[in-house]
Amino acid sequence: MARTQGSHSDITGPRVREAALSLFARHGYASVSMRKIAAEVGVQAGALYNYTPDKQTLLFELMRAHMEELLAAWDAAAPPPEAGGQAALEAFTRFHIRFNTRRADAVFVSYMELRNLDPENFSIIEGLRRDYETRLEAILSRGVAEGRFAVTEPRIAAMALIAMLTGVNTWFRERGRLSLGQVEALYWDMVRRAVANQG
């Protein structure tokens, strides 16, 4: 059955979000005009407003989707509690590197464009970020309770480790010298030692 001429609601929406994410990551939210997004999609600027009420909401929804997918993906990948803190920490380390390197644009935008969120949108994204940090904090606390980890400030250690792991995105390239598996192993080695109870 032929579609109404010029009607592409089922595919234009995703393409708008993809174009916006890519352009925001490369040039920054404030530098990217609605016209540039439209040009990337292949429509006129006015057509974008069928898919977002305004530019701010477009940014916010990209960030919210990313953070919620991150949380859902970890909750689906996390080992069961009986596996222990050490196994959970290794799983978290490898998950974080794998998930974030595959979504470099979304990670970048979700961190760099926090300044450009309206206050209420900022609060929501910050809450999701805290939720993610809390997942790692709980793993560290569990390892301490088990006597496997020596961590005096689990919240701060969680933030420190996440910062270290996210830093992979600044240099890792898919076709580089090291495979993703090798990178995971290198970072897991540092993470493990950084929190291990040696004595």
Partner DNA sequence: GTCTATAAGTTGATAGAC
Partner DNA sequence: GTCTATCAACTTATAGAC
Toward DNA, which CB reaches closer, 50 or 197? 50
Largest CA distance in the chain: 72
First to last CA, the chain: 72
What is the CA 52 to chain-centroid distance, rounded?
22
Toward a second copy, which CB reaches closer, 27 or 35? 27
Partner from DNA, a second copy, none contacting 49, C-beta within 5 to 8 A by type? DNA
Partner from DNA, a second copy, none contacting 146, C-beta within 5 to 8 A by type? none
User: Which has the closest alpha carbon to 158: 62, 108, 77, 88?
Assistant: 88
- 192, 143 Cβ separation under 8 angstroms: no
Q: Is 120 in the site for DNA (CB under 7 A)?
A: no
How far apart are alpha carbons 69 and 170 in whole angstroms? Answer: 21
Interactions with a second copy, residue window 109-128 (CB under 8 A): 112, 115-116
Q: Is 49 in the site for DNA (CB under 7 A)?
A: yes
User: Which has the closest alpha carbon to 85: 197, 160, 166, 162?
Assistant: 197
Interactions with a second copy, residue window 166-195 (CB under 8 A): 166-168, 170-171, 178, 183, 186-187, 190-191, 193-195
Toward DNA, which CB reaches closer, 33 or 123? 33
Supply the Cα-derived Rg of the chain in whole angstroms: 20
Residues forming the site for a second copy (CB under 8 A): 26-31, 112, 115-116, 152-153, 156-157, 159-164, 166-168, 170-171, 178, 183, 186-187, 190-191, 193-196, 198
